Amino acid sequence: MDAIELLMQDHQTVKDLFEQYEGLSDRSLASKRKLALKICEELSKHAMAEEEIFYPAVREASRLNEDLIDEAIVEHASAKELIAQIVAMAPGEDLYDAKVKVLSRQIEQHVQEEEGEIFPRAREAQLDLLAMGGQIAARKAEMQVPGMQP
């Protein structure tokens, strides 16, 4: 699978997880915690792989990509901050659901920008997306994200 297909698959996985979270009742605290941690883990691995492998390659391909990649990295930093807050909290605490909701919206906007701007530029740059897909899959498989187990 090429890098873009793999990253888009991640996007869909996280979108599905957010939708499952939205469908839970206020009393489903254990399920909320488990899903929130799964979302946070998936996003953390995805962001690390993009920052270590995908973004540097896209940035290097053209100076025209620098601003887009810089913005994506700032968006990742914002998401990581919310992820850390969610992981440190328990469902039922004030603002827990709100933080998951805001994270969902931030990720939705970030995904639109990646899929609409960054991914097409990566394809145009004729990067070896197949090799990069293998690198990303391997990197994600070896990652351990602390604090993400319920």
Q: What is the CA radius of gyration of the chain?
A: 16
pLDDT tens per residue, range 29-76: 999 999 999 999 999 999 999 999 999 999 999 888 999 999 999 999
In this prediction, residues 110-114 reach a mean pLDDT of 96
pTM assigned to the model: 0.93
Query: Two tokens at 94?
Result: 């004030």
Task: Please choose, from the candidates 14, 143, 56, 39, the residue with its C-alpha nearest in 3D space to the C-alpha of residue 97.
Answer: 39
Q: Is the predicted pLDDT of residue 143 greater than 80, yes or no? A: yes
Query: In this predicted structure, what is the pLDDT of residue 47?
Result: 96
In this prediction, residues 91-113 reach a mean pLDDT of 96
DSSP 18-72: HHHHHTS-TT-HHHHHHHHHHHHHHHHHHHHHIIIIIHHHHHHH-GGGHHHHHHH
